[in-house]
Amino acid sequence: MTTHGRRTSVAALMCALATTHCAGSGDSTPSNDEASPELVRTDAGPVRGAIHDEHRLFQGIPYAAPPVGPLRWRAPEPAAPWTEPRDATRPGSPCPQAPTAYSPIGSVDEDCLTLDVTTPRSVDPERLRPVMVWLHGGGEATGAGSVFDARRLAVGGDVVVVTINFRLGIFGFFGYPGLDGSGTFGLQDQQAALRWVQRNIAAFGGDPGNVTLFGESWGAFAASAQLTSPDAAGLFHRVALQSGFALADYPAGTFYPGLPALPPFWSPAAEVQATGEALASEQGWVEPASETDVALERLRGAPVDELLPHTARFVMPAFGGAVLPESPAEALRAGRFHRVPVLSGATQDEGRLFVALFYELAGASVTEQRYRELLAEAFGEAAEQVEARYPIDAYGSPALAWAAVITDRVWWRATHEQSLSLAAHTPVYAFEFADRDAPAAVPAPEGFPLGAHHASDVVYLLDFVGEPSGLAPEQQRLSQQMIACWSQFARAGDPSRPDLPPWPQFRGDDAQYVQSLAPGDGGIRNVDVVAEHQLDFWSTL
């Protein structure tokens, strides 16, 4: 199997009255109406959202044309304009995806390039608010911006929040010889959404000159890509990265048993194109030796349900083209990225979620013998050194010891390196989410505490639609503090506020210290993550 095959296994004046259609006005300038705050005019047409006690919500707004038929696997095109107020009280469809053990969403609808806007209820045309654009996680094969409820962040932080749906998997990152933009269509969707924000967000009370791009997991990974994309220049002014992995590589067995060692999740365009060509031939979608135009026409006609089973082979952006001229990993290390302030961090126990899902809950429990086997598979002759640093007795079980190895070697080694690379050129504020009693993202296996696991920080900023956060009183206080920090960062490029514990910039001789975020008095404080996650040890292997 090729390296790429191994890697892929795994966003005019408004009509004065709501009944007015604005047809024939001749003015398409996006605008807001103080008398009718539920009605906003975008550059494509007016939208009518919903007004709640403390916030306004506009859902399912098209930021690009549906990428269907001849527009499949093309750069996003402008949405068709409309004249009558468009209902914006329901979310748009998630992009095509199959349900998984960690995401119940299923969709076969390619008409999915929509976004939602959440704002505080008050409208002040003289004071535009900071804008925060959310990129969801999900391994680039699952998820949707529309499943996130941003009211707490918008109201508590006094910001405008935009959540977006973008093409995923085989629909977002497919490649084929001669296909312009191979492996980057999902990234291009995100850029189209950011351009929509530049053109329209002032009508919703947001400041297009103060946009923060933030994301978690694959969303943070994508935000790192946008940091290095020439086409994204000027589209955002700060970036917040939560549990991203732009610089991570993966020892064998990192995510699930039998997975070989993997390099960083960036693919040369030629590899993505070769994978697409081989798949098209295997499935009989394309006749042998077909001309490129003929082959692409046939591929664009393939049914969604025939393509979806192969989506996991296309979950990594391709570099070597206009969108990503070089691997973002190399660009970030070399300092070739947009100079914007960055908030960057990870959770204290990142790896526990993966060990819980793909080992303990999957019937492949990590026993003492299996722990040593995993260390040997991952680290070869250095396995004994790793075991000496991560003895089972120190963690309470072989599974927790293996989770600690994954956390430190994969997530924290890469997170710290990325923060160092960024901090050499731009202000960085680093953090560790450390609430080990955070609500669980999956059922906790017996005797296996999930701790501050991967994605456990999300509900401290955003809710899932229809689901309570499950936060206890002290955790609610931490959530309010984190919302204050993230929104202050969006407002000023620095998360520090007089009413919160000081948050020093990550730099110089103190680059091993990051802000720990945990509940309770003294829960927000500086900690030495180099010592906590044994990064000096990992730098020697």
At 238-247, the pLDDT tens digits run: 999 999 999 9
In-domain check, residue 427? yes
For 110, how many CA atoms within 13 A lie in the half-sphere containing its CB? Answer: 24
Indicate whether 222 and 370 sit together in one domain: no
Indicate whether 94 and 217 sit together in one domain: yes
Element of type H or E holding 87: strand 86-87
Indicate whether 215 and 358 sit together in one domain: no
pLDDT tens digits along 359-389: 999 999 999 999 999 999 999 999 999 999 9
Catalytic residue among 55, 237, 310, 454: 454
CATH of the domain at 158: 3.40.50.1820
Indicate whether 235 and 355 sit together in one domain: no
Q: What is the distance between the alpha carbons of residues 192 and 196, in angstroms, rounded to a whole number?
A: 6
In-domain check, residue 300? no
pLDDT tens digits along 508-527: 778 899 999 999 999 999 99
Q: Between these two residues, 120 and 125, which has the higher pLDDT value?
A: 120
Proportion of the chain above pLDDT 70, given as a percent: 93
Section 426-440 average pLDDT: 97
In-domain check, residue 76? yes
Q: Which residues pair with residue 319 across a beta bridge?
A: 268
Tell me if 27 sits within 8 A of 15, measured CB to CB.
no
Burial of 503 (0-12, 13-18, 19+ CB in 10 A): buried
Tell me if 273 sits within 8 A of 176, measured CB to CB.
yes
**Average pLDDT of the residues of the chain:** 92
Q: What pLDDT sits at residue 32?
A: 66
Indicate whether 230 and 354 sit together in one domain: no
Catalytic residue among 110, 216, 271, 350: 350
CA distances, 95 to each of 36, 58, 106, 169 (Å): 31, 19, 9, 10
pLDDT tens digits along 29-38: 676 666 688 9
For 523, how many CA atoms within 13 A lie in the half-sphere containing its CB? Answer: 17
Indicate whether 387 and 523 sit together in one domain: yes
| SS3 call for 17 | coil
Domain boundary among 202, 217, 242: 242
Q: What pLDDT sits at residue 25?
A: 34
How is residue 540 written in tokens? 């020697």
Indicate whether 232 and 358 sit together in one domain: no
Q: What pLDDT sits at residue 442?
A: 85
In-domain check, residue 478? no
Which residues are CB-neighbours of 26 under 8 A, at least 6 positions away? 12
In-domain check, residue 486? no
Catalytic residue among 31, 107, 217, 469: 217
Indicate whether 220 and 357 sit together in one domain: no
| 103 has catalytic annotation | no
The range of the structural domain enclosing residue 191 comes to 3-242
User: What DSSP line would sit under 268-335, residue for residue?
Assistant: EHHHHHHHHHHHHHHTTSS-TT--HHHHHHHHHTS-HHHHGGGGGG--S-EESSSS-SS-HHHHHHHT
| 453 has catalytic annotation | no
| 373 has catalytic annotation | no
Domain boundary among 214, 242, 270: 242
In-domain check, residue 276? no
Indicate whether 136 and 13 sit together in one domain: yes
Indicate whether 25 and 151 sit together in one domain: yes
Structurally, how many domains does the chain consist of? 2
Indicate whether 148 and 9 sit together in one domain: yes
For 77, how many CA atoms within 13 A lie in the half-sphere containing its CB? Answer: 13
pTM of the complete model: 0.93
In-domain check, residue 54? yes
Q: What pLDDT sits at residue 70?
A: 97
Indicate whether 229 and 357 sit together in one domain: no
| SS3 call for 86 | strand
Domain boundary among 195, 213, 242: 242
Q: What is the distance between the alpha carbons of residues 263 and 277, in angstroms, rounded to a whole number?
A: 22
Q: Which of 473, 468, 469, 495 is nearest to 484 (CA)?
A: 495
In-domain check, residue 193? yes
Q: What pLDDT sits at residue 478?
A: 98
Q: What is the distance between the alpha carbons of residues 465 and 146, in angstroms, rounded to a whole number?
A: 8
Residue 336 has pLDDT above 90, yes or no: yes
